[in-house]
Amino acid sequence: MRTINILYSFIFVALLAALSLASLPNLFSFSTASETTVLNGKLAHAIEKHYDKGFPVKEFGTNAWAALEYGLFGEGRLGVVVGRDGWLFTDEEFKPSKDPKQADDNWQLIAGVQAELQRRGIELQLVLLPAKARLYSEYFAEKRPVAQQQELYTQSLQRMNSLGLRGPDLFAALQNGKQQGAVFLRTDTHWTPHGAAVVAQAVAEHLRQASSWQGGSASYATQVTGSESHKGDLLSYLPLDPYFADMQPPSEKLEQRQTELQGGEGGGDLFGDSAPEVALVGTSYSANPKWNFPGALRQALGADIYNYAENGHGPLVPMLRLLAKGEEETRGLKLVLWEVPERYLTMPSDLTEFDAQWLAQLRAGPDSAERLALKGSAKPLAAQ
């Protein structure tokens, strides 16, 4: 192993030296305006930009380094875990939380959101998504999730029960769904449209059994409109394209689905002047139209829904933004479905846009929330 590491380091140093020497002719051709001075650093910055732009094989160097890591050690950049048969996983589903108290803080906020929605007369259902690594552990290579991650889903269901927070157990549904097709993309953190549809059906069935939603009268139908070659977001941690693109995991096809309201019985002017009574809040699993989760939910529920999901902010921020809009925004809602990928339960969120007192109110529980709501003393910054 020591010999391999030495060879690995030697190749890197040799490659770096060769690329640096190849860039020198471009450095000698540098020229700048006469007013560019040395004292304020502008000259040094101009030289740096010129050198970087003219680096003849910069992209090749990046690709070559990634090829060495991937080819010799089966590793990518920080952020990805390389599995077998071209499967990639986010390392967020493998590594421990940086702050052991983060999960407790997140659950306090979840409980506070539940209490605030109850105060507004709205039921909250948590759509807890099992990790891709949990569903496709058969494709692990050497690396395994830490014990904290292995136990996270079961512990999260227990926390939900302790809070009296309803929501379906989606692990079994997705395991069964694997028999009909992939429920997660091989090179992406996200699910497939098939996986999203499986979850939508499981959510609707759970709601009916829990008497939370008996189904609407609207008729929706989903059609497959084609397919496209999909470049998974995890491939960005394997920068092999274009020079070593053949080393990348094989490309995969993403089915394109579209859900539309049907005419005839249950169609037409279904709602008149009425607004949807169900809202969806969540992450890119719900916000990105590629997965068609809102469409699958509309079909499974037989009703239209509002979609407050957002890309790139995790599950907490979109929910807090919804509450921060005030009670008028949620008036008429009877049910909120909150899509939460399990890995986010141990991760921090950037909550700086919200008033600290309002967040403390939510964490403190329903009694504090009701007192402050009556006083009107804590308004979230996002609503101001």
List the single range of 75-84, 239-248, 301-310 with lowest mean pLDDT: 239-248
- pLDDT for 266 equals 43
- pLDDT for 46 equals 53
CB 191, CB 185: distance < 8 Å: yes
Looking at per-residue pLDDT, the higher value among 246 and 5 belongs to: 246
Q: Per the residue annotation, which of 188, 194, 230, 286 is the catalytic one?
A: 188
Does residue 104 have an active-site annotation? Answer: no
Residue 12's pLDDT band (cuts 50, 70, 90): low
- pLDDT for 156 equals 97
- pLDDT for 18 equals 64
Does residue 97 have an active-site annotation? Answer: no
Q: What is the mean pLDDT of residues 263-276?
A: 55
Q: What is the mean pLDDT of residues 346-356?
A: 97
Give one DSSP letter per residue of 244-306, joined into a string: TGGGSPPPEEEEEEEEEE--STT-SSSSTT---SEEEE-SHHHH-TTT-HHHHHHHHHTS--E
- pLDDT for 67 equals 74
- Mean pLDDT for the chain overall: 85
Reduced to 3 states, what is the DSSP secondary structure of residue 81? Answer: strand
Q: Per the residue annotation, which of 190, 194, 206, 230 is the catalytic one?
A: 190
Does residue 206 have an active-site annotation? Answer: no
Q: How far is CA 336 from the centre of its chain?
A: 19
Taking phi over 0 as left and psi of -120 to 50 as alpha, with beta for the rest, 233 belongs to alpha
Residue 273 tokens read as: 């002047």
Measured between alpha carbons, how far apart are the two ends of the chain, in Å?
A: 59
- pLDDT for 320 equals 98
pLDDT digits (tens, 9 = 90+) for 70-91: 887 889 999 999 999 999 999 9
- pLDDT for 365 equals 75
Q: Is 80 exceeded by the pLDDT of residue 281?
A: yes
Q: Is 70 exceeded by the pLDDT of residue 352?
A: yes
pTM of the model: 0.83
- pLDDT for 74 equals 87
* Domain boundaries of the chain, sorted by first residue: 2-56, 99-383
Residue 23's pLDDT band (cuts 50, 70, 90): low
List the single range of 147-151, 248-252, 367-371 with lowest mean pLDDT: 367-371
Residue 354's pLDDT band (cuts 50, 70, 90): very high
Q: Is 60 exceeded by the pLDDT of residue 279?
A: yes
Distance CA 179, CA 98 (A): 36
Considering only CA atoms, which of 323, 381, 310 is closest in space to residue 352? Answer: 381
Q: What is the mean pLDDT of residues 149-164?
A: 97
Q: Which of 219-223, 241-245, 248-252, 267-271 has the highest mean pLDDT?
A: 219-223
Q: Facing residues of 281 across strands?
A: 338
Q: Per the residue annotation, which of 91, 206, 230, 284 is the catalytic one?
A: 284
